[in-house]
Every structure is written in C-alpha cells, then in structure tokens.
Chains A and B, each alone.
Chain A
Amino acid sequence: DGGITQSPKYLFRKEGQNVTLSCEQNLNHDAMYWYRQDPGQGLRLIYYSQIVNDFQKGDIAEGYSVSREKKESFPLTVTSAQKNPTAFYLCASSIDDSYNEQFFGPGTRLTVL
C-alpha cells in the first residue's frame, strides 16, 4: 500500500541528546514536510523540501535539522539546541507543492525526560 510511515511511534529522550525521527514515503511525491503539534495548538511547519538535496526552513526551524538524500526519505533530527522538544511530530508529503493535498504519516510522539 502507498503511504507515509514514521518511526518510532513513541520516543523518549534524555535532555542534551540528539534524536532522529524517521519519515519514509512510497507515493513518489516530490515535496515533503515536517510539522510540530503541541497540545491545543495547530501544526507548525519546521522544515520542507521540494526536491532531493534541497530543503528550506519553516516557521520554527531552530534546534532542528533535516536531510533529503533520497526522494522517499526525509529524516528530522531534534538537536539538544531545541529548548522544548516534547511534542507530536508529523511528516507529510505532496505531489509537488503545498497547493495540493498533503498526505500525513501517523506521527511520532517525542518526550524529553
């Protein structure tokens, strides 16, 4: 089945540690996105990528990094510089840009202990 997978579903991290969230899609989409969701809040854009080897900062990129070495993969690293990393992280993809429907993965819930 085509879709977006994110792993792990739950992730616990100690303060000061970097952690990488996985996002894979087999929809052959060019564009991929990372969003952060906090309780009672909407989604906020962290990073986005329109093509392989290119990505741009979103509204809240500080403390995060990404790579786009393959079309189907867009991993997100939450670094120790991110001051409040506990949140629900959602990955999405669309055919070529955000004018089109974005398909979302199941999300990763990150908790910093």
Chain B
Amino acid sequence: AQKVTQAQTEISVVEKEDVTLDCVYETRDTTYYLFWYKQPPSGELVFLIRRNSFDEQNEISGRYSWNFQKSTSSFNFTITASQVVDSAVYFCALSETTGGGADGLTFGKGTHLIIQP
C-alpha cells in the first residue's frame, strides 16, 4: 500500500516570509517517484517537480526548493520570500513502480497556502 501524508491542512503567512510545506510518504518499493503540484483557485493542477527515489539531491528553482530525505521518507517543499501569487493548494504525490507505472498517482490531501499581503 502507498500513502502520502500532508499534515498541514492550511498555512497562512505574511508576504515575504519563507514557508515550508511538509510531505511524508509510505511505500514498500525501492524505486518510486515523488511529485509536487500546485492548484490555484482556477482548479487546474500545475506540475512543479518530479523526483525519483535514487536522486536525493536537493533542488532549487528560483524561490522554490525541495528537500528529499529517504531516511525520514519526506519530500518537503520550501517557498522563499513568498508572494501573494503563491497562494494555492499544494499537493504532494507518489508513483510506485510495482504497478508498472500505469496506475496513476497517489495524492496527499493537500496544503492550502495563504499568503497575506
């Protein structure tokens, strides 16, 4: 069984603050993929990052950074100097390889991030 937990239901910060969104996952596979998606109020999910289980290097993309730690089964997402446009629901998701990659993603329940001006 696979499971993704995003314990933070909602986070509210003031603009320009840094904020970290937590993601903890469970899987028996040694090979798997982790994703982060952003869902703005329009509803359409926007892909942010994909990481495979063999690549534990942290990644930075502009104000966004991701910290992948297999030892704690976590894949956390940090936004530096947050902006109002970052307000959205953020989902962490997992894809295992035992299903041949064809069985879709398992999503966490999402974290609603509110950036106040």
Interface residues of A (CB under 8 A from B): 31, 33, 35, 40-45, 48, 50, 56, 58, 88, 90, 92, 96-107, 109
- Residue of B at shortest CB range from A96? B101
Q: A42-B107, A50-B102, A98-B95 are in contact. Are A90 and B45 (CB under 8 A)?
A: yes
Interface residues of B (CB under 8 A from A): 4, 6, 9, 33, 35, 37, 42-47, 50, 52, 91, 93, 95, 97, 100-110
Q: Taking the nearest CB of chain A, how far is it from the CB of B32, in angstroms? A: 9
B9, A40: Cβ atoms closer than 8 Å: yes
Q: A50-B102, A98-B101, A98-B103 are in contact. Are A106 and B44 (CB under 8 A)?
A: yes
A45, B104: Cβ atoms closer than 8 Å: yes
Q: Taking the nearest CB of chain A, how far is it from the CB of B117, in angstroms? A: 25
Cα-based distance from A106 to B46 in the complex (angstroms): 10
In the complex, which residues of chain B have a beta carbon less than 8 angstroms from the beta carbon of A88? Answer: 43
A45, B108: Cβ atoms closer than 8 Å: no
Q: Taking the nearest CB of chain A, how far is it from the CB of B3, in angstroms? A: 11
In the complex, which residues of chain A have a beta carbon less than 8 angstroms from the beta carbon of B97? Answer: 99
Known contacts A41-B109, A99-B95, A105-B44; 20 additional CB pairs below 8 A are A33-B104, A40-B109, A41-B110, A42-B6, A42-B93, A43-B105, A48-B103, A48-B104, A58-B103, A88-B43, A90-B44, A97-B101, A98-B102, A98-B104, A99-B97, A101-B47, A102-B35, A102-B45, A104-B45, A109-B43
In the complex, which residues of chain B have a beta carbon less than 8 angstroms from the beta carbon of A58? Answer: 103-104
A42, B91: Cβ atoms closer than 8 Å: yes
In the complex, which residues of chain A have a beta carbon less than 8 angstroms from the beta carbon of B107? Answer: 35, 42-44
In the complex, which residues of chain B have a beta carbon less than 8 angstroms from the beta carbon of A107? Answer: 43-44
| Contacts A/B (CB < 8 Å), 21 sampled | A40-B9, A40-B110, A41-B109, A42-B91, A42-B108, A45-B103, A48-B103, A50-B102, A58-B103, A58-B104, A90-B43, A90-B44, A96-B101, A97-B100, A98-B95, A98-B104, A101-B47, A104-B44, A105-B44, A106-B43, A109-B43
